Amino acid sequence: MKAIGEFTKGIIKENPVFIMALGLCPALAVSTSVENAIGMGAAATFVLLGSNLIISLIKNFIPAKIRIPCFILVIASFVTIVDMTMHAYLPPLHKSLGIFIPLIVVNCLILSRAEAFASKNGVGLSILDALGMGIGFTLALVIIATFREILGSGTFLNMQILPQSYKPMIVAILPPGAFFTIGLLMGLFNQLKKKNN
Amino acid sequence: MKNILKPTGILLIICVISSTILSVLYSRTKPIIEANNKAAIEAARKAVLPDAVKESFTAVDVNNIASGQPDFEPDSILFYKGYNQAGELVGFTYKSAGQGYSSSTKVVTMVGINLDLKIDKIKIIKQQETPGLGANCTSTDFTQHFSHKDPSTIKVDKDGGEIKSITGATITTRAVTNSIRDEFLTIKKDMMKQLDKGAE
Amino acid sequence: MQISNLFFIIISAIFINNFVLVRFLGLCPYIGVSKKLDSALGMGMAVIFVMTMASVFTWLINHFFLSPVTGIFNYDLTFLRTITFILSIAVLVQFVEMVIRKSAPELYKALGIYLPLITTNCAVLGVSILNITENYNFIEALLNGMASGVGFTLVLLLMAGMRERLDRAKVPKAFKGMPIAFILAGTMALAFLGFSGLKF
């Protein structure tokens, strides 16, 4: 039962973006299209899984004093793996995510999961935690991107869904649109949370 | 002393392990990445000069800098000749780069030139312009404006020319247009030389 | 090297491509530390300092170790860029913290608690990587690092000033705190879009 809780908490109750406000930079920067959002979500989930797994395995060997540098090293290695693999096999996606792939290293979501969860829990739970958080992160990105892509380009996953006569609201895919979207969605999440309580 | 040695040792071990893994992966992915880049460039060449056979493109090495180094591609000094099935010269392609709206990435355009020194087609191969505005430069609605124009005189409409600028993205339009023109003017002479050679 | 070019880098880093509002880097401290004006000032100063130092250090590392052309190993080690940069930033932050604590206790009191947070500020790693991808030389990298930090501090202070007022405003309950801060950031980003006209 506890295991299921560790998995599902990241998706809604402790959603990394909307509730805990972690990993905001990529959430805003790459959410101009749903395609990018899924790519970024998958990349971050992979790094999260890898780092949680390794850190929960080696946590007993690492002296407390140097644990943060060690975590950062592990995370940076996984990020470089994602970077190179994506560059080789998914070049268009690599190009559109650009600088935000190496910047997964400093995504506070990943370091905070390593510090707050993986360094204190076993391998199994850490993997579930990473999966849940990763899915929650991806979900949040996709939700933001859905609004921005539909309003800003009239498309969803590059398919035209609004009639051609719709004049795209370009501001939605410009930086201000990202801030407005996430602000409104966070307010919505707060409202829902209050109702549930 | 021991307090320092142990943490340092552990950090070192992690460093060594991770850089070993990374260098193995790097040596695996590097050839694939290079092949991808090469294939993308070749496809772009074919796209802007459709009459030519894909395998026929040969580099014209103006300054002899790149001789013997087929992968080495300085942006400014090379253009390529394209031949058709019969082995006749059908045109040239070159790359031009202009500073657009994004400060980190220039807008890079592949240009195809016909034998009468008019633009055949162009294709934007690299850009990081604003989505929804400048990024629309990749659409054929924009690039088709360039076909059959004389590259030595093209200008954006706001500068009194004939290229209709993208809504809200004059800077991007100007980057593309001016870079095509300036690059063409630098290599025009050498292109004409190649034409004379072909006529002989 | 032209002075106008350097001037352009500074203006661009502060206004046109503002790190927070246009590039989306360093958002966590931007939202997290902007509740009070004086803590925002402390954070801003610490960021300017670390970003400048990090630009210098990572540029040197890239130039002398990682780059295949100018590096001492003559081998392409750029695939280790992320890992070496983040490590050197972490070391740098620790080092700066120790030096300031010893030599300037007053300053340490003001900046102290913000320094460790900076390691995971993506703006620092961001500026280091951008310096390399934009092929900046040493002086340009240094200026870009400093100006980006100034740009970050500028919007952080503006935001903190507004949020102190916002505390007294009537905001719908669900929007209290972060949501309204983001809406505010959105309007600021709209205003900063106006700076894009400074280019050309």
Convert the pLDDT of each residue in B12-26 to its tens digit: 898 899 989 999 999
Give the closest of C12, C83, C200 to B18, CB-based. C83
Note whether A175 contacts C: Cβ–Cβ < 8 A. Answer: yes
User: ipTM of this predicted complex?
Assistant: 0.86
Note whether C82 contacts B: Cβ–Cβ < 8 A. Answer: no
What the block records as the tokens of C58 is 């990572």
Chain A residues near residue C173 by CB distance under 8 angstroms = 190, 194
Find out whether B75 and B56 touch, Cβ atoms under 8 Å. Answer: no
pLDDT confidence of residue C112:
62
Chain C residues near residue B174 by CB distance under 8 angstroms = 200
Torsion region of A195: left, alpha or beta (phi above 0 gives left; psi -120 to 50 gives alpha)? alpha
Give dist(CA A91, CA A81) in Å, integer: 14
Chain B residues near residue C68 by CB distance under 8 angstroms = none
Which helix (H) or strand (E) covers residue A155, if one does?
strand A155-156
- Max CA pair span of chain A: 62
Domain spans, chain B: 48-199
How many distinct helices (H) and strands (E) make up chain B?
A: 3, 5
pLDDT confidence of residue C145:
95
Give dist(CA A101, CA A146) in Å, integer: 21
Cβ distance of C182 and A179 shorter than 8 Å: yes
Instruction: Please give, rounded to a whole number of angstroms, the shortest distance from the CA of A111 to a CA of chain B.
Output: 17
Ranges A16-20, A173-177, B39-43, B126-130: which has the least confidence: B126-130
pLDDT confidence of residue C53:
92
Note whether B13 contacts A: Cβ–Cβ < 8 A. Answer: no
For chains A and B, what is the number of CB pairs under 8 angstroms? 65
pLDDT confidence of residue B198:
60
What ranges make up the beta strands (E) of chain B?
A: 58-61, 78-83, 89-98, 107-113, 119-126
Backbone torsions φ then ψ of B104, nearest 5 degrees:
-85, -30
Question: Does the pLDDT of residue A126 top 60, yes or no?
Answer: yes
Find out whether A16 and A23 touch, Cβ atoms under 8 Å. Answer: yes
Find out whether A74 and A54 touch, Cβ atoms under 8 Å. Answer: yes
Is B64 in a helix, a strand, or coil?
A: coil
Cβ distance of A99 and C130 shorter than 8 Å: yes
Cβ distance of B40 and A91 shorter than 8 Å: yes
Note whether C7 contacts A: Cβ–Cβ < 8 A. Answer: no
Chain B residues near residue A65 by CB distance under 8 angstroms = 7
Cβ distance of B132 and A76 shorter than 8 Å: no
Chain B residues near residue A84 by CB distance under 8 angstroms = 22, 25-26, 29, 33
Domain spans, chain A: 2-196
Query: Mean pLDDT in chain B?
Result: 82
Give dist(CA A85, CA B122) in Å, integer: 30
Cβ distance of C121 and A106 shorter than 8 Å: yes
Site from B104, B129, B156, B159 to mutate, C interface, most C CB atoms within 10 angstroms: B104
Find out whether C61 and C88 touch, Cβ atoms under 8 Å. Answer: yes
Name the residue among C53, C46, C55 with its Cα closest to residue C153: C46
Give the percent of chain C with pLDDT over 90: 30
Note whether C103 contacts B: Cβ–Cβ < 8 A. Answer: no
Note whether A159 contacts B: Cβ–Cβ < 8 A. Answer: no
Note whether C194 contacts A: Cβ–Cβ < 8 A. Answer: no
Question: Which residues in chain C show pLDDT less than 50?
Answer: 200
pLDDT confidence of residue B66:
44
What the block records as the tokens of A144 is 């933001």
Instruction: Please give, rounded to a whole number of angstroms, the shortest distance from the CA of C155 to a CA of chain A.
Output: 14
Note whether C4 contacts B: Cβ–Cβ < 8 A. Answer: no
Give the closest of A70, A81, A89 to B14, CB-based. A70
Note whether A64 contacts B: Cβ–Cβ < 8 A. Answer: no
How many alpha carbons fall within 13 Å on the CB side of residue A167? 2
Ranges A17-31, B21-35, B58-72, B142-156: which has the least confidence: B58-72
Could you read off the pLDDT of B143-194 as tens digits, one per residue?
888 888 888 888 888 888 888 888 778 888 988 999 999 888 888 888 888 8
- Write the CA distances from A44 to A31, A35, B149, C61, integer angstroms: 14, 14, 46, 27
C:123-142 residues touching chain B, CB 8 A cutoff: 130, 133-134
pLDDT confidence of residue A135:
94
Give the closest of C79, C130, C200 to B26, CB-based. C79
pLDDT-based confidence at A98, cuts 50/70/90?
confident
pLDDT confidence of residue B61:
64
Give dist(CA B188, CA C135) in Å, integer: 29
Is B95 in a helix, a strand, or coil?
A: strand
Chain A residues near residue B15 by CB distance under 8 angstroms = 73
Instruction: Please give, rounded to a whole number of angstroms, the shortest distance from the CA of C9 to a CA of chain B.
Output: 9
pLDDT confidence of residue B76:
44
For A27, name the nearest residue in chain C, comparing CA atoms only.
Answer: C24
Chain C residues near residue B104 by CB distance under 8 angstroms = 130, 133-134
Cβ distance of B19 and C16 shorter than 8 Å: no
Find out whether C15 and C192 touch, Cβ atoms under 8 Å. Answer: yes
Chain A residues near residue B133 by CB distance under 8 angstroms = 170, 174
Find out whether C24 and C122 touch, Cβ atoms under 8 Å. Answer: no
pLDDT-based confidence at A128, cuts 50/70/90?
very high
**What's chain C's length in residues?**
200
Give dist(CA B120, CA B141) in Å, integer: 15
Q: Tokens 């280091």: give the residue.
A: C128
pLDDT-based confidence at A75, cuts 50/70/90?
very high
